[in-house]
């Protein structure tokens, strides 16, 4: 390890001496200061802090990513192009020690820069936090009562300088309705007819275009043959059950005008009466309607028999836009449940059925402080830098400086935009069979995503800005790997195991370093001509 | 080595040639852009005032287009996710990237004022987003595109529809806050039966010196400004703030019982300056200068055009958003097409102009009461202002004449099918007739009733009736009145009731007051019950506002009430009503007694304090 440390130290000092680090440090400092002093947000103190956090962390991230790429490639390709590598290779230093040392040297420097810039951002955010809100500015003696609730200050303390966990509603209990509907379906249609219909549907799905010519008649013999295949029967029954559950669920999610739905949230932490407020965040989507405003009433009830505490909110919201309101902590039951009743108010001008999906109404509760969250966000950003440095080493050991930079930039852009690219190259569902190009682009992106981590440009920043908790588990998953239950659309391998393994960015980093070492090990440094 | 030097030399020459070529081309390009009205702000002015915008246009180079697309998508996503903190920032950035594309400014201003504001839930947030939209257009969009008609129209539309109408549940917040903002600059306008007093008062501001040097040319004014400077006050909005707090000008200062006392020696000296008779003339000059300066620099209004608008259309109260709707819609045509007010009409200004003029008829008289708990949002009450009926009628007729004129220039009949405005015109005048009749202005009601019949040739049995029967029949036909009609009918009824009471006719008083009560109840039952945002103040509050106005500023409601009649009226009121109005009327009435050479004993006898 002494050898690795020697290379690390040398790399660190070499990087510190380069002009590029000075230029980037100055740009970084100017950006953070400019954002801190100039950006106003939407006019509220909360908005100003959120905008500052969003812009300063994004800019820091971007600049550090770029500096990591250029610095690492510069160091590694410089060694080879300027023949310094000969003096290194003549030392008792193995190639993996060189690769690891170069990588860790750059990481030491960029990590230091990250700590410094995040420290500055944190101090600046705290400084802005002390600024006065509009209500506080107007609170001259005798004008505004001092006990007046200041929503802006409340939002700053409980929505920004906080780490809040997000709770989705408990799944609706549809099993009894499902059994009843399934039994009725079998009684009315007959089991064989039901499966036969599903086989027909699979063999010949209904045309998407109603004007399309009718398809040729089905081969009924084939249908009958498949009907008696036990494995297929089981599969068809699973499909029928899946569709039926979805139908029941969708019908339960629709709330007509004047009607209500009750959602329950479990696993919350009971709070004392003066504890931090909860927040309900929702987005109302009208179902088959073009209404632009929806009126609603919300009743949040503590169902403990000895409590009976409830809160009522009347709201008028733009559709498809996320809104939120604060909820008294006394609404949580002693066993950590929260009951929310949503009422779609009758409005003669806007009669619309509303579709409520689980992710549309969430409850946020404070579970930790801003500082811890800020550190975890920093750790995630550091991980990105680690991966990019590893990729830079990987390309630097066998490509020239410009080509390696280009390759690394492509990887950087693809990783940052992975979500968008995946969405853009999805196979079309509603516009006929996919073309060859669509298949090609889809599977190309699937392949690329299997190798590259999803760095998701603004995800970490969004969590910080929203005061959304970044759990240690998520950080660990990102450093190592995550195990997720296999979904219906997962590939065969994951479905077989019932679990999907998602490789973390940390492991991908060491994979990239390993590949870099393998290439470098085989590389002939001094070609004999 | 020599080869490298040679290459460097050649490249230097190429760079020099390219730069010289670019410099030579920039002149013709600039003039070509000016000719096509693509440049409304010179480069040097832009660089001096908005270096960031210039940098943003140049720095992204070829990436400006994809950057713009990204910013548009991101800003819409943020809006949909309820993350409004970044929305203004991104919108500013988009506009900075395309400053000479008016559509971008118009869209973002509209989006902020109408959509983003509707996604928020507190009065502060709503007001902030509506004014963000206004500021984006007025302060920045029109700076880069001063001759763009669309931007002026969009701005006028925000004032007229978003702030002036009733569809937004927080429309009163906008009306009150805007009225408060302008009240702090201009105060309440004086009242007279015609536009004369208001125009005369405003012309002092329009004709005020344009710069500080002209202001201090007068020795006594220079002395006053010097004293202000020594106390750290410049003759601008800072001066207005202290003038509003400490002066004895009743049109701006809050009533004595809530007025802030000077805090400390400095403020005492300022208060002395604001009250001293010695500096009355200089103070008036500085006041006009500061008001003009604030209008121009803060609100981007042209006082000369404001005065023109007042002279033509009536005594606009600039605290009313409808006045600004008219200002911006006419100003746009003037800037874009060089039209003066004589050539601007209801047809070339769109719906805003005529709509705002009609709204002024129904809401033109504003009463602002200081709100100690929230000074930015004063209490607001209003009444119909019949001084706008004539100008609205005239503008209707002017537009109608154009509609019925054929291509050869021959003016057709007013009741021809081409006159699409006639129906609205008749309805407007019919409503005005009803209000005037209920308000006791039967002469005016009869005049406009005749105009409906003789000029507009209205057809139908109802127009054959006598004036009295016409009013009754119209009320029966119209059903529940609108919010503005309710206010207009109530203020008319109060006017008649308290005139009768002052004259000792209790029966008439009870009859008219009962009518006001009936109008109020009908409105609350049929309309306001279902739509909370349209609910007016409580009946007693409206009656109290009216009484206070009648006793302190009767000209504002078209009455001339001598001091003796005021005393007679005050003493016929119930003790409860006296208790409610006394704190507000005592100061102005005491002042009036002094002005009319009466002593304080007279005041105490004529307007005795009500029992505790």
pLDDT in tens, A45-63: 998 999 899 989 999 999 9
Structurally, how many domains does chain B consist of? Answer: 1
Residues of chain A contacting B81 with CB distance shorter than 8 Å: 322
**Residue A145 forms part of a structural domain:** no
pLDDT at A110: 94
What average pLDDT does range B556-579 have in this prediction?
Answer: 83
Per the CB < 8 A criterion, the answer to whether A108 and A8 are in contact is yes
Least confident of B36-45, B197-206, B298-307: B36-45
| DSSP H or E segment with residue A203 | helix A191-203
Model confidence at A88: pLDDT above 60: yes
**Residue A164 forms part of a structural domain:** no
Of residues B260 and A237, the one with the higher pLDDT is A237
Residues A380 and A516 in one domain: yes
pLDDT in tens, A434-476: 888 889 999 998 888 888 888 775 678 888 888 999 999 989 9
Residues A502 and A400 in one domain: yes
Using the beta-carbon criterion (under 8 Å), do A42 and B84 form an inter-chain contact?
yes
Residues A349 and A413 in one domain: no
**Residue B229 forms part of a structural domain:** yes
pLDDT at A490: 65
| DSSP H or E segment with residue A364 | strand A361-368
Two structure tokens written together for A429:
């569902």
Using the beta-carbon criterion (under 8 Å), do A43 and B88 form an inter-chain contact?
yes
pLDDT at A338: 94
What average pLDDT does range B12-36 have in this prediction?
Answer: 86
The span from the CA of B510 to the CA of B512, in Å, is 6
Using the beta-carbon criterion (under 8 Å), do B374 and A143 form an inter-chain contact?
yes
* Of residues A134, A143, A293, nearest to B373 (C-beta): A143
Chosen for mutation from B85, B132, B167 (greatest number of chain A CBs closer than 10 Å) is: B85
**Residue B153 forms part of a structural domain:** no
**Residue A436 forms part of a structural domain:** no
Residues A381 and A517 in one domain: yes
The span from the CA of B228 to the CA of A55, in Å, is 43
Residue B82 touches chain A, beta carbons under 8 Å: yes
Provide the shortest C-alpha distance from residue A256 to chain B (in Å). 21
pLDDT at B306: 96
pLDDT bucket at B342, cuts 50 / 70 / 90: confident
**Residue A44 forms part of a structural domain:** yes
Structurally, how many domains does chain A consist of? Answer: 3
* Of residues B87, B118, B122, nearest to A42 (C-beta): B87
The span from the CA of A75 to the CA of B293, in Å, is 61
**At residue B316, what are phi and psi to the nearest 5 degrees?**
-65, 135
pLDDT in tens, B388-419: 999 999 999 988 988 888 888 888 888 887 88
pLDDT bucket at A430, cuts 50 / 70 / 90: low
Residues A464 and A493 in one domain: yes
Residue B128 touches chain A, beta carbons under 8 Å: yes
Residues A22 and A92 in one domain: yes
Residue B93 touches chain A, beta carbons under 8 Å: no
- Cα–Cα distances (Å) from B337 to A14, A269, A420, B311, in that order, read 66, 66, 47, 21
pLDDT at A397: 92
ipTM: 0.72
pLDDT at A457: 58
Model confidence at A69: pLDDT above 90: yes
**Residue B160 forms part of a structural domain:** no
Q: Among residues A342, A368, A394, which one ends one of the domains?
A: A368
Nearest partner of B369 among B487, B523, B267, B257, judged by Cα: B257
Provide the shortest C-alpha distance from residue A522 to chain B (in Å). 38
Buried b (16+ CB within 10 A) or exposed e, B522-540: ebbeebbeeeeebebeebe
> How far is C-alpha B304 from the chain's CA centre?
16
Residues A127 and A38 in one domain: yes
pLDDT at A207: 67
**Residue B338 forms part of a structural domain:** yes
**Residue B273 forms part of a structural domain:** yes
Using the beta-carbon criterion (under 8 Å), do A321 and B119 form an inter-chain contact?
yes
Model confidence at A100: pLDDT above 90: yes
**Residue A499 forms part of a structural domain:** yes
Quickly list H helices, B60-170. 64-80, 87-97, 102-110, 117-118, 123-135, 142-144, 149-157
What average pLDDT does range B95-103 have in this prediction?
Answer: 87
pLDDT at B39: 61
pLDDT in tens, A159-187: 999 999 999 999 888 888 899 999 999 99
Residue A465 touches chain B, beta carbons under 8 Å: yes
Per the CB < 8 A criterion, the answer to whether A59 and A106 are in contact is no
pLDDT at B531: 64
Residue A147 touches chain B, beta carbons under 8 Å: no
Q: Which of A197-206, A234-243, A330-339, A343-352 has the highest mean pLDDT?
A: A330-339
Model confidence at A76: pLDDT above 80: yes
Residues A498 and A357 in one domain: no
Provide the shortest C-alpha distance from residue B169 to chain A (in Å). 9
Residues A270 and A320 in one domain: yes
pLDDT in tens, B141-165: 999 888 899 999 999 999 999 999 9
How many Cα atoms within 13 Å fall on the side-chain side of residue A145? Answer: 3
**Residue B1 forms part of a structural domain:** no
Residues of chain A contacting B86 with CB distance shorter than 8 Å: 41-42, 50-51, 54
**Residue A441 forms part of a structural domain:** no
Residue A43 touches chain B, beta carbons under 8 Å: yes
What average pLDDT does range A106-123 have in this prediction?
Answer: 94
pLDDT bucket at B562, cuts 50 / 70 / 90: confident
pLDDT in tens, B279-297: 999 999 999 999 999 999 9
Provide the shortest C-alpha distance from residue B82 to chain A (in Å). 4
Provide the shortest C-alpha distance from residue A241 to chain B (in Å). 34
Quick one: closest CA in B to A43, which residue?
A: B128
Using the beta-carbon criterion (under 8 Å), do A151 and B122 form an inter-chain contact?
yes
Give the sign of the dihedral formed by CA B96, CA B332, CA B312, CA B434. negative
pLDDT at A489: 62
pLDDT in tens, A363-416: 999 999 999 999 999 999 999 999 999 999 999 999 999 999 999 999 998 888
Model confidence at B449: pLDDT above 90: yes
Residues of chain A contacting B121 with CB distance shorter than 8 Å: 315-316, 323, 325
Least confident of A198-207, A298-307, A326-335: A198-207
Q: Among residues A368, A384, A409, which one ends one of the domains?
A: A368
Residue A468 touches chain B, beta carbons under 8 Å: no
How many Cα atoms within 13 Å fall on the side-chain side of residue B163? Answer: 32
pLDDT bucket at B41, cuts 50 / 70 / 90: low
pLDDT at B512: 85
**Residue B241 forms part of a structural domain:** yes
Using the beta-carbon criterion (under 8 Å), do A43 and B132 form an inter-chain contact?
yes
Provide the shortest C-alpha distance from residue A44 to chain B (in Å). 8
> How far is C-alpha A211 from the chain's CA centre?
41
Of residues B359 and B262, the one with the higher pLDDT is B359
Provide the shortest C-alpha distance from residue A469 to chain B (in Å). 17
Residue B81 touches chain A, beta carbons under 8 Å: yes
Residues of chain B contacting A42 with CB distance shorter than 8 Å: 84-88, 128-129, 132
Model confidence at B530: pLDDT above 60: no
Q: Among residues A219, A254, A289, which one ends one of the domains?
A: A254
**Residue A301 forms part of a structural domain:** yes
**Residue A162 forms part of a structural domain:** no
**Residue B155 forms part of a structural domain:** no
| Domain span holding position B311 | 178-383
Q: List for chain A the helix, strand, coil content (%; round to 5).
A: 55, 15, 30
Residues A195 and A290 in one domain: no
Hey, which residues does A318 pair with through a beta bridge? A293
Residue A322 touches chain B, beta carbons under 8 Å: yes
Using the beta-carbon criterion (under 8 Å), do B128 and A42 form an inter-chain contact?
yes
Q: What percent of chain B lies above the pLDDT cut of 90?
A: 33
Residues A57 and A120 in one domain: yes
Nearest partner of A364 among A474, A292, A466, judged by Cα: A466
Two structure tokens written together for B469:
């029967």
Nearest partner of A379 among A228, A489, A505, judged by Cα: A505
Residues A513 and A408 in one domain: yes
Quick one: closest CA in A to B89, which residue?
A: A41
| Domain span holding position A215 | 175-254
């Amino acid at each position: 390890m002494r050898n690795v440390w020697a290379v690390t130290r040398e790399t660190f000092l070499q990087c510190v001496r380069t002009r590029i680090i000075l230029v980037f440090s100055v740009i970084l400092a100017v950006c953070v200061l400019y954002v801190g002093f100039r950006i106003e947000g939407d006019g509220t103190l909360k908005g100003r802090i959120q905008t500052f956090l969003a812009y300063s962390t994004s800019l820091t991230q971007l600049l550090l990513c770029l500096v990591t790429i250029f610095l690492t490639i510069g160091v590694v390709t410089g060694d080879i192009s300027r023949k310094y590598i000969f003096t290194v290779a003549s030392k008792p230093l193995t190639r993996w020690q060189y690769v690891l040392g170069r990588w860790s040297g750059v990481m030491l420097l960029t990590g230091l820069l990250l700590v410094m810039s995040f420290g500055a951002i944190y101090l600046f955010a705290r400084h802005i936090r002390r600024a006065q809100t509009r209500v506080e500015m107007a609170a001259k003696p005798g004008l505004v009562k001092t006990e007046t609730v200041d929503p802006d200050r409340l939002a700053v303390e409980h929505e920004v300088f906080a780490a809040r966990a997000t709770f989705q509603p408990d799944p609706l209990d549809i099993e009894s309705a499902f059994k009843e509907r399934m039994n009725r379906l079998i009684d009315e249609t007959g089991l064989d007819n039901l499966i036969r219909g599903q086989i027909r549907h699979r063999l010949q799905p209904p045309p998407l275009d109603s004007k399309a010519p009718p398809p040729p008649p089905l081969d009924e013999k084939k249908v009958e043959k498949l009907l008696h295949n036990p494995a297929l029967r089981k599969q068809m029954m699973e499909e029928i059950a899946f569709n039926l559950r979805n139908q029941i669920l969708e019908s339960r999610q629709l709330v007509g005008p004047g009607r209500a739905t009750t959602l329950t949230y479990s696993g919350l932490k009971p709070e004392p009466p003066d504890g931090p407020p909860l927040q309900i965040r929702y987005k109302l989507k009208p179902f088959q309607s073009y209404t632009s405003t929806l009126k609603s009433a919300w009743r949040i009830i503590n169902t403990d028999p000895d409590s009976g505490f409830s809160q009522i909110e009347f709201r008028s919201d733009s559709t498809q836009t996320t809104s939120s309101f604060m909820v008294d902590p006394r609404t949580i039951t002693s066993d950590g449940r929260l009951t929310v009743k949503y009422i779609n108010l009758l409005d003669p001008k806007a009669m619309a059925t509303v579709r409520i999906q689980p992710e549309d109404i969430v409850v946020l509760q404070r579970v930790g402080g801003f500082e811890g969250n800020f550190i975890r966000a920093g750790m995630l950003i550091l991980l990105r830098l680690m991966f990019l440095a590893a990729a830079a080493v990987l390309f630097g050991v066998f490509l020239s400086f410009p080509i390696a930079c280009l390759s690394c930039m492509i990887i950087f852009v693809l990783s940052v935009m992975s979500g968008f690219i995946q969405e853009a190259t999805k196979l079309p569902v509603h516009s006929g069979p996919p073309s060859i190009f669509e298949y090609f682009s889809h599977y190309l992106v699937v392949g690329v995503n299997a190798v590259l981590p999803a760095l998701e440009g603004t995800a970490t920043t969004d969590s910080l800005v929203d005061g959304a908790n970044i759990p240690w588990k998520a950080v660990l998953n990102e450093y190592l790997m995550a195990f997720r239950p296999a979904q219906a659309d997962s590939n065969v391998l994951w479905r077989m195991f019932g679990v999907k393994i998602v490789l973390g960015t940390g492991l991908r980093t060491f994979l990239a370093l390993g590949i870099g070492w393998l290439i470098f090990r085989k590389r002939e440094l001094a070609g004999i001509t | 080595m020599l080869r490298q030097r040679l290459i460097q030399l050649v490249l230097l020459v190429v760079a020099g040639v390219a730069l010289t070529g670019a410099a030579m081309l920039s002149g013709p390009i600039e003039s070509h852009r000016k000719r096509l009205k693509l440049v409304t702000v010179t480069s040097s002015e832009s660089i001096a005032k908005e270096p960031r915008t210039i940098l943003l246009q140049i720095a992204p180079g070829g990436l400006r287009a994809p950057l713009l697309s990204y910013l548009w998508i991101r800003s819409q996503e943020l809006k949909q996710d309820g993350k409004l903190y970044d929305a203004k920032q991104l919108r500013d950035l988009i506009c900075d990237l395309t400053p000479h594309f008016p559509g971008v400014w118009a869209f973002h201003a509209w989006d902020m004022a109408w959509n983003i504001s509707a996604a928020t839930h507190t009065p502060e947030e709503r007001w902030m987003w509506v004014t963000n939209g206004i500021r984006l257009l007025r302060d920045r969009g029109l700076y880069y595109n001063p001759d763009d008609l669309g931007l002026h129209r969009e701005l006028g539309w925000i004032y007229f529809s978003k702030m002036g109408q009733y569809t937004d549940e927080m429309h009163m917040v906008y009306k009150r806050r805007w009225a408060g903002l302008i009240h702090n600059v201009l105060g309440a306008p004086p009242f007279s039966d015609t536009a004369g007093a208001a125009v005369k008062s405003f012309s002092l501001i329009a004709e005020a010196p344009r710069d500080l040097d002209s202001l201090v040319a007068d020795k006594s004014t220079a002395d006053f400004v010097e004293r202000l400077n020594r106390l750290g006050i410049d003759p601008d909005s800072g001066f207005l703030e202290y003038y509003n707090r400490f002066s004895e000008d009743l049109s701006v200062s809050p009533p004595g019982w809530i007025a802030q006392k000077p805090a400390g020696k400095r403020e005492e000296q300022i208060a002395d300056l604001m009250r001293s008779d010695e500096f009355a003339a200089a103070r008036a000059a500085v006041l006009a200068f500061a008001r003009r300066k604030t209008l121009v620099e803060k609100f981007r209004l042209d006082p000369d055009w404001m005065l023109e608008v007042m002279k033509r259309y009536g005594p606009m109260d600039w605290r009313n958003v409808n006045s600004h709707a008219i200002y911006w819609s006419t100003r746009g045509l003037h800037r874009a097409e060089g039209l003066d007010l004589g050539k601007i009409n209801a047809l070339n200004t769109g719906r805003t102009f005529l709509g705002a003029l009609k709204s002024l008829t129904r809401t033109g008289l504003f009463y602002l009461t200081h709100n100690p708990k929230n000074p930015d949002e004063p209490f607001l009450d209003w009444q119909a202002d019949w001084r706008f009926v004539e100008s609205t009628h005239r503008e209707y007729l002017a537009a109608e004449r154009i509609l019925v004129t054929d291509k050869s220039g021959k003016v057709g009949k007013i009741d021809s099918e081409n006159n699409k405005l006639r129906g609205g015109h008749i309805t407007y005048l019919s409503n005005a007739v009803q209000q005037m009749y209920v308000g006791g202005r039967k002469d005016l009601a009869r005049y406009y009733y005749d105009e409906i019949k003789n000029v507009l040739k209205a057809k139908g049995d109802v127009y054959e009736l006598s004036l009295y029967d016409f009013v009754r029949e119209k009320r029966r036909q119209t059903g529940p009145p609108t919010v503005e009609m309710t206010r207009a009918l109530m203020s008319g009824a109060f006017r008649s009731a308290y005139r009768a009471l002052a004259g000792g006719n209790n029966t008439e008083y009870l009859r008219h007051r009962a009518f006001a009560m009936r109008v109020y109840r009908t409105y609350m039952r049929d309309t306001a019950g279902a739509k909370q945002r349209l609910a007016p103040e409580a009946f007693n509050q409206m009656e109290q506002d009216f009484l206070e106005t009648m006793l302190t500023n009767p000209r504002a409601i078209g009455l001339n009430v001598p001091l003796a009649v005021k005393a007679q009226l005050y003493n016929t009121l119930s003790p409860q009503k006296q208790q409610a109005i006394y704190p507000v009327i005592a100061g102005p009435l005491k002042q009036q007694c002094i002005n009319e050479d009466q002593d304080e004993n007279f005041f105490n006898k004529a307007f005795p304090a009500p029992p505790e």
